[in-house]
Chain A
Amino acid sequence: MDDDTSDFGSFYEADNEDETNTIINMSYKVLVPVKRVIDYAVKIRVRPDKTGVETANVKMSVNPFDEIAVEEAIRMKEAGFASEVVAVSLGPKTVQETIRNSIAMGADKGIHIETGTADLQPLGVAKVLKKLAETEKPNLIILGKQAIDDDANQTAQMLAGLLNWPQATFASKIEVDKANNSVKVTREIDGGLETLSMKMPAIISCDLRLNEPRYAKLQNIMKSKKAELKVQTPQDLGVDISNKIKTISVEEPAKRSGGIKVDSVDQIVQNLKKHALI
């Protein structure tokens, strides 16, 4: 009986053929902003003049959280949800390497927003991405939850605010519901997990456990070197990326010196007593 009912249901759906086809054929475009940062394994050095950290002759990589975002977008494409994945990066010409890395992983095209040596901060980046969202019209924008250089954890939320789109930050699971044009996101909160459902277009920021990014195949790395990137400037987009938070100085944190090594549990206990901890 149940089966009959559902057959009936699909019979009626056939009447709405146009609408049904629109839903089935609708293919999502995913925009993934990626940032070039000092490689996570590099021990950073503060510049002696305290203006920042040393970046000359230092290994640079894709921000690990952004790589997770790229991976997620590519998986959506492989699952048939997305038809196009666009990687975008802001910065000097060197960030093209980061965009090509995303293309080697599986992104379809890349956009480089040339900002020269400008001090990029999340608000300026979000303003540029908002403009791109208006021209590229993505259904989803997936970002890393934070970059491991400034640790700001702001761009996704700011972009969502500027676009007035729903946001799901710190995502650990994403399920696309194509029939309803929505996406269900499980996100990491203090003390556990939370699930949100968002109509697209929407913003998602990725946490660590969302996926494990793939390694690009050598053949794809070679191909990505030839990929043509669209290059624009903030001026082209009519965006002012200046900001009002000025860095006064960057210093090394107070060093913590190692203490003593002990040989026995009793000595640990004595030390805890000495510090009045037990």
Chain B
Amino acid sequence: SKCLVVAEHDNKDLLSSTLNTITAANKLGSDVLLLVAGNNCKSVVDKATKIKGVKTVFHADHPLLEHGLAETLSPVVVGLKERQQLTHIFTPATNFGKNFIPRVAALLDVGAVSDITSIKSDDTFTHPIYAGNAIATVKSEDAVKIGTIRTTAFEKAPVEGGSAAVEQLDWIAPLVDQAASSTNIKWEGSQVIKSERPELTGARVVVSGGRGMKSGENFKMLEELADTMGGAVGASRAAVDSGFVSNDLQVGQTGKVVAPELYIAVGISGAIQHLAGMKDSKVIVAINKDAEAPIFQVADVGLVGDLFKVVPELTEAIKKAK
């Protein structure tokens, strides 16, 4: 059997979500093929060939593939399915993957499984539903099994040790051009917030703030705490909705799902939607002035207190302890 992994990348580097997805694909015991579709993305292809557990890297290069648009990427994946007799197609359960893979599934007239957290066999998978309050085991009887992989549920594949063959996909240009003109989609621009801190979903430590932070300025405190451990900063939906921080920091059912070694929840009450995004963290520390806050029911270490006093103290104490 053959599993195609559609890589998430920025035309220069692979994103780490791709590595988690490759690990999931390797659990099927089939050949893992990686599609790198982008614009001038050869440096991504070169790096991809070295990943352990990848047999072939397909390189699709076209100006209209630069931004990973569903309209132009989907026909490339469908074309590969027809040429390669794929049995599985996986991609990360990030906004990138969730955006295009259902479109591919519809074009192939098959279903798709979202947020796969474990692979029981080549056709049976588990995935969370109801914000992680239930886990469904599903069996796909479709000819090709399509799914998005929850990255926090799988380790990253090693970036060294592989030697995959590269295959140029020279048949894609007419398909991509046709898709772009028939759907009339135009990419206008993007505003991507560059941060010195690690990416939220891949960070070893995440410090998140909730409504209790009271303002966006107060998130500085959390940044200082995160920086003592090389961590990332996140937020609850309440904090994002209150306008304290931008939405890409949101941890939860409808935001990012994280599972770091250490998650520090500050001024977060712990709504189920938030817990869905962080409850698989290894160690959870909660700081909240309300002793009854539900976050304490999942926290390994809880401190009831005034966050404006506790957080600076904790930052200093960690600096000293190191």
Contact = CB atoms under 8 A, between A and B. Distances in A.
A66 B95 CA distance: 19
Given A148-B131, A184-B188, A209-B247, A191 B193 contact: yes
B192 A191 contact: yes
A266 interface: yes
B248 A167 contact: no
B185 A196 contact: yes
A263 B302 CA distance: 9
Given A157-B100, A191-B248, A123 B106 contact: yes
Given A188-B247, A245-B113, A258 B142 contact: no
Contacts of A230: none
B128 A169 contact: no
Nearest to B264: A268
Contacts of B256: 190
A121 B190 contact: no
B40 interface: no
Q: Which of B100, B102, B247 has the most CB of A within 10 A?
A: B102
A253 B142 contact: no
A226 interface: no
B199 to A, nearest CB: 8
B321 A278 contact: yes
User: Which of B74, B111, B184 is packed against the most chain A CB atoms within 10 Å?
Assistant: B111
A250 interface: yes
B301 interface: yes
Nearest to B74: A161
A250 B135 contact: yes
A148 B140 CA distance: 22
Nearest to A273: B321
A256 B291 CA distance: 18
Contacts of B139: 245-246, 248
A-B complex: 4 closest residue pairs judged by Cβ atoms = A161-B106, A259-B300, A157-B102, A158-B106
Interface of A: 38, 40, 43-44, 46, 53, 121-123, 126, 145-146, 148-162, 164-167, 169-170, 172, 184, 188-199, 207-209, 243-253, 256, 258-269, 271-273, 275, 277-278
